[in-house]
Chains A and B, each alone.
Chain A
Amino acid sequence: MDSVANIILYFVVALCIVIFSVLTVTSRRILRAATYLLFVLIGVSVFYFQLGYQFLGAVQIAVYAGGIMVLFVFAILLTHRPDQKTGLLEQHRRTVGISLSVLSCVLLLLALFFMPLIGGESLSASIAAGNDITMHDIGKAFTGTDRFQYLLPFEAVSILLLSCIIGGVVVARKR
């Protein structure tokens, strides 16, 4: 039995996510779209907190909301005039997009509702079933080579980020 506060929080956040994600993709002013996306990202991070992954929520806010969104905003400011509306594609493309996405949405939702799902117990029970994930655990998971330890991907990602930095510099450099 989950607390009413949790449930209310859920509904608020879910509604927020749904509305803003739709707005993100429908708004024709790109800076606004980015702002709506920011709200969605924050909403997702709230879910992470609610699900008991505090570190993940923090990373979500720090990297996405803090880092990536700033990049987006810079890019938008660099490439758009303030009152510029983005152009539209041809009508049939949009029809295809709408129909496909609505269709897939309906299909997925139907699947969700009509397929038997396991793991139907409450959130509090699930949180209770797992251990608290401490920073210690996460650190250990990233620095070992045993089962369920991820040193190699971690290093790979670090190299990826490095190359990304270099790549970003090279690509964006003025010729």
Chain B
Amino acid sequence: MDITLPILILAIPFAMFLILGIGGVKMPRKLAGSIGILANGALLACCYTVAFTYFFSGDPLFIIDGVRQQYQVFDVTWLAFTDRLVVNIGFLLDPICAMMLVVISTISFMVHLYSWGYMEHEPGFQRYYAFLALFTFSMLGLVVATNIFQMYIFWELVGVSSFLLIGFFYKLPSAVSASKKAFIVTRFADLFMLIGILVLSYYVAQTPADGPLGGASAFNFLMLNSHPTNVLASTLGATFMGGSVLTWAMILIFVGGMGKSAMLPLHIWLPDAMEGPTPVSALIHAATMVVAGVYLVARFFPMYCIVPDSLTFITVVGAITAFYAAVVACAQIDIKRVLAFSTISQIAFMMVSLGCAYDQPIEGVHYSGLGYMAGMFHLFTHAMFKALLFLGAGALIHAVHSNDYTKMGGLRKYMPITHWTFLIGCLAIAGIPPFSGFFSKDEMLTAMYNRDIIWGVWMTIVAGLTAFYMFRIYYLIFWWEENPEYKHDGHKPHDAPWQMSLPLIILAAVSCVAGFIPFGEFVTFNGEPYHIHLEGWVAGTSITVAVLAIALATVMYAKKNPLPSKMRQAMPGLWMAAHKRFYWDEIYMFVTHKIIFGGICRAIAWFDRHIIDGTMDALAAVTNFCSVKIKSFQSGNVQAYVAWYLLGALLLGAITWICLL
């Protein structure tokens, strides 16, 4: 395959970053914006061409006998630690990568376009586009990574672009602290990922150079994924605290994914990250970066399968997170926070789905890897409708100048486009056919029921909660009671300009039809096509639950009524706890500020200044003290000198004599 397009995919956004980052200050904002959007359009074309070529060309590089192949377009050495541990930078083309290329470039383009309207009056417009380009570059580099280390490199880069974009309004202390929090929490998770990579690569590099794991790179996905048993064998049965070393390595690597994908207990940064501009939330914190954890697990799926304990871990973490986030989302006021927790919940859904995709036949039916396909499908659909919801929220915030639903209400009359697109998004995420979310969620639930009925029931409840809280904010924003302030002239909210509405309409259209894509034909865990068919009872259950939840939301929130506040008063503790996100932030604040900063850091700094430095100063003081004492011998009194001299001479003489005797 020609490598021009893959190189362009990485080069265009990076070049944009440099051009807009260095030269942007001197550019008029219109120029900078149009350069950004045009370049992104070119990028979109490249990505679509590559993905299209991969899926439909039928080239034997990509598909052999109906089985999709993984293909390294290029893979060049970047840094060689040892003969075996070589870091390459490359471009791996396979189904999930091609799918991600489509998702990233689409959402990125939508966001670029949308920002043209949304960010029009913000200072630093050029900088904003530069950062978007940097993010796009890093995210594309992450998904095309040929090896875990390349992924780690771009993993860090998306972290920093996320930091820069969350802190875009850098004059606001809240934005600065949110960006710091996001970076440090994900960095903390990345530490575990790094240790995981260290462990994994250490054992792989220990294998014989001519074995199946030989060759230059112990990081390579293709090599590791095609020989998971050899990798397991390379650890020679080494165990640590009851688990095999490989299990630990894979769990540690997954912890990195937990950080990026905001799984419990590392989720605390994502709600705060909503301080960033809303289009950024749509791009990074809903559609692309936060699914990096899911992508990581999918990318390493054969390796996770070889150590099923790690998949169980993923499932448990995902299930707890999904439920937790769904409950919290029911009690948030800030609409972006609701969407953030909804994102956490949905990503956790994908995680559970991946965790349940373990290749295991049940009752004779081979559901191998259904969860994998379903998780990826949901990743795809979720990216579309969640970006839609965020961009819709952005349009609302743009109109109302507030993030809280208490300042909204009854907006459907004023903002019809936003209303309808938002409704489509809500229906999609609630899992109502024929919108896209229904199909992907149904497949996921099927996979979970197949794995274990507990996961199925648990996640069905989460799905019900999802439908409830989404329609809760939908009603509170668009129905409920009209905010009296709208009556005043000049405050009348209205639909956003076309740059913002167009992406909403496109994404809404995609959300309507994406469910009919035969996704199983394109992405499965082993490349063989899988024909999606609806499991009747699963679909029935989930639709019933969703409809019931929507009905409950309608009863409670469609019109202004005292029911919600009654419920709130009925369970004040629960509501407060959920509203405060079960006090996770407070716990973290306590641990970081009181224990780490106040305890460890201050203690060490004190120790350094007083004990270590004090010792040095004390040495100097002792020397000084002694010299002051000795100084008085040098009195300038010659007679005293003679006396001392004589005494010394006498002593020496006496000693000599005694020795001679």
Direct contact of A and B (CB under 8 A): yes
Of A97, A107, A111, the contact of B643 (CB 8 Å cutoff): A97
Whether, in the assembled complex, A143 has its beta carbon less than 8 Å from a beta carbon of chain B, the answer is: no
Q: Contacts of B649 on A, CB cut-off 8 Å?
A: 104
Which of B164-172, B300-308, B330-338, B650-658 touches A?
A: B650-658
Interface size class of B (residues with CB under 8 A): under 10
Residues of B within 8 A of A (CB): 639, 643, 646-647, 649-650, 653-654, 657
A96 partner residues in chain B, CB cutoff 8 A: 643
Which residues of B sit under 8 angstroms from A111, Cβ to Cβ?
Answer: 653, 657
**A70 on the interface (CB 8 Å rule)?**
no
Contacts of B654 in A (CB 8 A): 107
What number of A-B contacts does a CB cutoff of 8 Å give? 19
What is the CA–CA distance of A94 and B639 in the complex, to the nearest angstrom? 11
**Interface: A147 (CB within 8 A):** no
A100 an interface residue at 8 Å Cβ cutoff?
yes
Task: Describe B's contact surface by its main secondary structure.
Answer: helix
Q: How far is the CB of B657 from chain A (nearest CB, A)?
A: 7
Q: Which residues of A contact B (CB under 8 A)?
A: 89, 93, 96-97, 100-101, 103-104, 107, 111
Tell me, in angstroms, the Cα distance from A111 to B649 when the chains sit together.
Answer: 14
Chain B, residue nearest A89 (CB) = B639
Contact, CB under 8 Å: B643 / A103: no
A155–B639 Cα gap in the complex (Å)?
33
| A170 and B649 alpha carbons, distance in the complex (Å) | 37
Cβ-defined contact, A103 with B653, below 8 A: no
User: Nearest CB to that of A97 among chain B residues?
Assistant: B643
Known interface pairs A107-B650, A107-B654; 12 further A-B residue pairs with C-beta atoms within 8 A, sorted by A's residue number: A89-B639, A96-B643, A97-B639, A100-B646, A100-B650, A101-B646, A103-B650, A104-B646, A104-B649, A104-B650, A107-B653, A111-B657
A100 to B649, CA, bound (A): 11
CB distance from A103 to the nearest CB of B (A): 6
Give the nearest-CB partner of A108 in chain B. B653
B16 to A: closest C-beta gap in Å: 86
A126 to B293, CA, bound (A): 109
Q: In the assembled complex, which residues on chain A have CB atoms less than 8 Å from the CB atom of B647?
A: 100
A-B contact pairs, 5 of them (CB 8 A): A96-B643, A97-B643, A101-B646, A107-B654, A111-B657
> How far apart are the CA atoms of A89 and B638 in the complex, in Å?
14
Residues of A contacting B646 in the complex (Cβ-Cβ under 8 angstroms): 100-101, 104
Determine the distance from Cα of A111 to Cα of B647 in the docked complex, in whole angstroms: 16
With CB as the reference atom, state the residue of chain A lying closest to B653: A107
For the complex, give the distance between the alpha carbons of A103 and B646 in Å: 10
Across-interface contacts of A104 in B (CB, < 8 A): 646, 649-650
Q: Is the CB of A93 within 8 A of B639?
A: yes
Give the residues in chain A near B650, CB-CB below 8 Å.
100, 103-104, 107
How far in angstroms is the closest Cβ of chain B from A117? 14
- Using Cβ atoms and an 8 Å threshold, which residues of chain B touch A107? 650, 653-654
Q: Are B653 and A100 in contact, CB atoms less than 8 angstroms apart?
A: no
Q: Given the complex, which residues of B lie within 8 Å of A103, measured CB to CB?
A: 650
Q: Chain A residues with Cβ under 8 A from B657's Cβ?
A: 111
Complex CA gap A104/B649 in Å reads 9
